[in-house]
Structure 1
Amino acid sequence: MLTRSLQIATLLAACMSLSACKLVATAAKNQPNSREGSPAQNAEFSPDRMADEIWDSKAMPYLRRKAGALPEILAAARQNPDEAGRKYGYREKQDGSPWTVVTKLDGQVVTADTTSRAATAGVDIDGDGKADATIQIGPAIRGTALRDALDFVSFTSFTNQIEYAQFGKALNTRVDRVLLSGLPRDQLVGRKVSVLGVFPLEKLDQPPLITPAELTLGPKS
């Protein structure tokens, strides 16, 4: 009986000791830092709104000012890629990543691959009947060339890598919504086209994959 009384007293003492303790929440392990965290950390960030706000006021004036004729850019790049990149485009990182350049071209649509969501049109600019450039016509647009070509957009301006990527996607989405979604996809081949667009300065032995910022269709020739 005495032993049982001692057990009860010990248990009561332990409970009283626990009730006097204060529980302090510990920080979550591996808490993300400001560059790696969720975009929810910045509730005011809207990539679509940001893309809309800069497009007409900053992006298009910059792209029109920076653009060079496609044959001129390619010839310069074969001589000196860095000089061509500095003249016609932008590269934020200096660690060997490709320049993203701005070009303008006039030609004729000679091919159209519209079976994929990442649809493209091949444009002949020298009259030989072969595609000298491949134009992305959406709705899915590969890469972030529109973002990467803008010298006033820096990774350091964003809270984290996720927001930076979302902004690149928002520019692509805007171009598709405003410029590309209304294209007559089954009536492209044979038509004249004028394009202002961007592409990464790499694989110079292949027609560049151009993301358009402006695209105007003319009649069939």
Structure 2
Amino acid sequence: MWLKQWGNALAGCVALLLTACTVVDLDENGKPIMPADPHAKASFDNQTPQQIAQQTWQERVINAAHQHALSADTLAAQQKNPAAAPQSVFVRLTSQVERIDTSNEREQQLLINVNGQPLPVQLGPVIRGNAIRDATGFKFEDFTNQVQFAQLSRAYNREAVKHLPKVDASWAGKPVTVLMAVTLSGGKLNDAVALELQQEAQ
């Protein structure tokens, strides 16, 4: 009698344990595939800067730029009251293209007028500066591998060039809407790089 009761209790415990357990899928090596912790900090430890740039381009760059881009007026206000340290921001504005500079095939530029001042906007294929990376809000401490952070600028810059339309001399004198990243330093605009370009009807 006692043995039967003990057996029933044991069976109940096993059933309870099985009910409480979550079935975990196994990978090709028979190891459990653990679900990602939704509250865990994003980890880029095993990714190359190029992979990080490609995977985060739409969300961290394009979507963020459309949501948080400054207008020409807001940009002018920030230029008049500059922050103590350089900061990179997204900007969206429409301006007439004053000229296209293709004298250096590696560093082509589109020259527009922003609040009365000429601004060269980089088109590539070589892009200088950290404007895109820093405008995304990524910080040095977000990366365990600090080399990734240093190289992420170049990866983002290369990614930007891939998404731009072909720009030639025919764009000169025409209105264009520019979505860009730019670095503000002491009220001056530096290292502007185009993210999206759209010709507008005259």
Residue equivalent to 1:166 = 151
Q: Deviations over 1:35-76 (max 9, x none)?
A: xxxxxxx98322112111111133222222211112321233
Residue equivalent to 2:192 = 210
Residue equivalent to 2:58 = 56
**CA RMSD across the alignment:** 2.4
* Alpha carbons 1:146, 1:172 under 8 Å: kept: yes
Aligned with residue 99 of structure 1, among 87, 95, 119: 87
* Alpha carbons 2:97, 2:173 under 8 Å: kept: yes
Residue equivalent to 1:118 = 107
For residues 24-173 of structure 1, what are the structure 2 equivalents within 5 Å?
Answer: 44-78=46-80, 80-82=81-83, 97-116=85-104, 117-124=106-113, 132-151=118-137, 153-173=138-158
* Alpha carbons 2:100, 2:110 under 8 Å: kept: yes
* Alpha carbons 2:61, 2:132 under 8 Å: kept: no
Residue equivalent to 1:189 = 172
TM-score (norm 1): 0.63
CA distance in 2, matches of 1:157, 1:125: 33
CA distance in 2, matches of 1:75, 1:52: 33
CA distance in 1, matches of 2:122, 2:183: 13
Which runs of no fewer than 5 residues in structure 1 stay unpaired?
A: 1-41, 83-95
Classify the secondary structure of the residue corresponding to 1:120. Answer: strand
* Counterpart AA for 2:67: R
Q: Quote the offset at 1:207 in angstroms.
A: 5.7
* Counterpart AA for 1:45: Q
> Are 2:182 and 1:199 equivalent residues in the alignment?
yes
* Alpha carbons 2:60, 2:136 under 8 Å: kept: no
Q: Quote the offset at 1:165 in angstroms.
A: 1.8
* Counterpart AA for 1:197: M
Q: Deviations over 1:6-63 (max 9, x none)?
A: xxxxxxxxxxxxxxxxxxxxxxxxxxxxxxxxxxxx9832211211111113322222
CA distance in 1, matches of 2:85, 2:185: 10
* Alpha carbons 2:50, 2:156 under 8 Å: kept: yes
* Alpha carbons 2:45, 2:144 under 8 Å: kept: no
* Counterpart AA for 1:139: P
* Alpha carbons 1:67, 1:101 under 8 Å: kept: yes
Q: Quote the offset at 1:132 in angstroms.
A: 3.4
* Alpha carbons 1:122, 1:131 under 8 Å: kept: no
Q: 4+ residue runs of structure 1 moved beyond 6 angstroms?
A: none
